[in-house]
Amino acid sequence: MDGVIIDTEKWYQRFWVQGAVENGFPMKPEHVLEIRSLPEKLAAPLLKKIVCPDFDYARVRDRRKELMAHHIEEYGIEKKKGIDQLLQYIKSNGLKCAVATATDIDRTTQYLKQIGIYDYFDKIICASMVKNGKPEPDVYLEASRQLGLQPMECVAVEDSPNGVLSAFRARCNTIMVPDLTPPDQNTAKLLFAKADDLIQVIDILEIHKKAVEK
């Protein structure tokens, strides 16, 4: 969801850093890139390693949540370019659709309803519903199971390396629409395709559909 459907990653990056600095930890924007989509059990020790040994993940995360909530209350949520067109394409072609996200179910539901697209999704799968979050494949395996599909029948749309790795490990066909960073050489090898925005994802799906029909 974050970074693919809604344009929130840039604010998470800003508020992680702000929350850390307010609490006396020398976090930098590049550190936030390392923890995108990661659960606490992976993100917390990583930040202790790359920021400082006494980094208080819970305290900084709570402050980040406060800052993010205030920002959304004042400015709302910005959709990513092409999400409305992509969801309409999916619906008009009779495709099943799920959200597979690291965000908790309450905030996921809130955000999707707030921007008017909640009803487009057949299922919502959050990392808290499975044993392991991204970059492990659990969330995508559960999403495909709940959709009644095999993972290799599914297309996953991701924006970050950890998300791409999760989808690839689940054996989904992964399209990356980069948000804060482009794919590096290792991530690029895991992709079915790369798109500049969600409108291009429609083009990729159309090409694939025509190839299958032939």
pLDDT tens string for the chain (214 positions)? 999 999 999 999 999 999 999 999 999 999 999 999 999 999 999 999 999 999 999 999 999 999 999 999 999 999 999 999 999 999 999 999 999 999 999 999 999 999 999 999 999 999 999 999 999 999 999 999 999 999 999 999 999 999 999 999 999 999 999 999 999 999 999 999 999 999 999 999 998 877 767 6
Which structural domain, as residue segments, surrounds residue 50? Answer: 9-75
Last residue within a domain, chosen from 20, 44, 75: 75
Alpha helices in 154-197 (DSSP H): 161-169, 185-188
Residue 1 located in a structural domain: no
Q: Do 49 and 93 sit in the same domain of this protein?
A: no
Judge if 146 and 124 occupy the same domain: yes
Q: Are residues 54 and 150 in the same domain?
A: no
In this structure, are 53 and 100 located in the same domain?
A: no
**Domain identity same for 56 and 93:** no
Looking at the structure, tell me whether residues 64 and 108 fall in a common domain: no
Nearest Cα residue to 195 out of 139, 135, 155, 166: 155
Tally of domains within the chain: 2
Q: pLDDT tens for residues 55-67?
A: 999 999 999 999 9
Phi, psi of 155, rounded to the nearest 5 degrees: -105, 125
Q: Are residues 108 and 207 in the same domain?
A: yes
Q: What is the CATH number of the domain that holds 135?
A: 3.40.50.1000
4 is a domain residue? no
Q: Are residues 103 and 204 in the same domain?
A: yes
CA distances from 90 to 38, 139, 169 (A): 28, 21, 24
Kindly state whether residue 107 falls inside one of the protein's structural domains.
Answer: yes
How many beta carbons lie within 10 A of that of residue 113, not counting itself? 11
Q: Residues 70, 97: one domain? A: no
Same domain, 145 and 62: no
Residue pair 130/140 in contact (Cβ under 8 Å)? The answer is no
Give the DSSP H or E segment for 157: strand 155-158
